A and B are shown apart, each in its own frame.
Chain A
């Protein structure tokens, strides 16, 4: 996802009422996160599960929230997602940077990256993959989900190597 779109996406979600952006940094999402840091709206947690817990607390205070993380951290968090977010029906948006999307990404991402779509499917977390030209439509889809008290995931593939 192009860097300029990431800035626009942050600003759009902010404008549409997401009040908290809590997570663990990921290079795929770095422009999105930087835009949030510039606007003083980001909380960096020590681990993804912690971020999910903080966001759940904010939702208990009726404050709309999003968590961001890399897909490796998402995999770490599956039990928390099923036994907290899904069990209690929290309307949380997950923004997930997807490593291992490219076949020649770093080796530690290969196996977990390959099963990322399958992991989302098997825990029944509704998701959509963001490409450059569809981010706004997909954000609107996610915002609609939260209004219906449902969680969902937005997945951003890493389409570059460094």
Chain B
């Protein structure tokens, strides 16, 4: 399963919930697979997807808020996990697409091949930490998520590969405005 396939599977179940997607190929794939107004596509500010998602989750406790993160992205902002763990947003679902490389910049290695992100998340008081590597398990785990069980992390192990999707054609200001108006 490559990143784009994982996103296609995730979107079978998530459909209308708000999503913050990390910059780089993750946002580009989400845009090409399932563009919608409650997707906040990050273009820059690498590492901050989980922080932006946390801010939304705190202020909108009745909505399930998804973050589509990457291993490179999460490792760049590990402090965010401590804030999430401290604040305990019950509606926060943190998806980590983990291929152990910085694929958007040419496939350089990250530390996630040796460091266990799931252990870090558990230490940071995430209520549930799940790890999956196939379609059936992704769908099963997503189905098992009810409201008020977070913070939850689902690490999706993916293989490298697949071409970069088209760049996001919506302007940053429009991405923001349509998200606000449809949240």
Q: Which residues of A contact B (CB under 8 A)?
A: 20, 22, 43-47, 49-63, 65, 79-80, 82-84, 87-90
Contact = CB atoms under 8 A, between A and B. Distances in A.
A53 B59 contact: no
Contact of A88 (B51, B55, B175): B175
A50 B79 contact: yes
Contacts of B88: none
Nearest to B56: A57
Contacts of B48: 49-50, 52-53, 56, 80, 84
Contacts of A79: 44-45
A43 B50 CA distance: 15
Nearest to B176: A88
B51 A89 contact: no
Nearest to A55: B55
9 contacts: A46-B79, A50-B80, A52-B51, A53-B80, A58-B59, A62-B59, A63-B59, A84-B42, A90-B176
Interface of B: 20, 40, 42-45, 47-48, 50-60, 77, 79-80, 82-83, 87, 172-173, 175-176, 179-180, 183
A50 B86 CA distance: 14
A13 B60 CA distance: 22
B139 to A, nearest CB: 27
A57 B53 contact: yes
Per DSSP, chain B at the interface is helix
B56 to A, nearest CB: 4
A59 B54 CA distance: 12
Contacts of A54: 51-52, 54-55, 58, 83
B173 A60 contact: no
A46 to B, nearest CB: 3
B44 A87 contact: yes
B51 A50 contact: yes
Contact of B44 (A44, A60, A83): A83
B180 A53 contact: no
B82 A46 contact: yes
Closest 6 CB pairs of A and B: A57-B55, A83-B44, A46-B79, A53-B51, A53-B48, A61-B59
A70 to B, nearest CB: 16
Nearest to A87: B172
